[in-house]
Amino acid sequence: MVDRSTKEPKKKSRKKSSLETFAINQNISVDEIREKFPALYSELTNKKMSMRIDEVEDESESHSSREDERQSFDPFSNYEPNIFDFLARARTNKEGLDVVDFLSKQGQISAKTAKELTEKIKTLGIRCFGPERPADYYYRKSEEIRTKKIIQKRYPSHKDDE
Summarize the confidence of residues 51-78 as an average pLDDT.
63
**Residue 107 backbone class (left: φ over 0; alpha: ψ -120 to 50; beta: rest):** left
The pLDDT assigned to 1 comes to: 52
- All structural domains of the chain with their residue ranges: 63-162
Alpha carbon separation from 86 to 20, 99, 132 (Å, rounded): 61, 7, 10
Cα–Cα distance measured from residue 121 to residue 83, given in angstroms and rounded to the nearest whole number? 13
pLDDT at 134 over 80: yes
Q: Is the pTM of this model over 0.85?
A: no
Q: Contact, 121 vs 100, CB < 8 A? A: yes
When comparing pLDDT for 123 and 53, which is higher? 123
User: How many other CB atoms sit within 10 Å of the CB of residue 117?
Assistant: 22
- 20-49 pLDDT, tens digit per residue, is 444 455 677 888 888 888 887 777 777 665
Summarize the confidence of residues 84-101 as an average pLDDT.
93
HSE value, Cβ hemisphere, 13 Å, CA-based, for 147 = 7
pLDDT at 162 over 60: no
pLDDT at 95 over 60: yes
Helical ranges in 46-128 per DSSP H:
63-71, 83-89, 93-106, 111-124
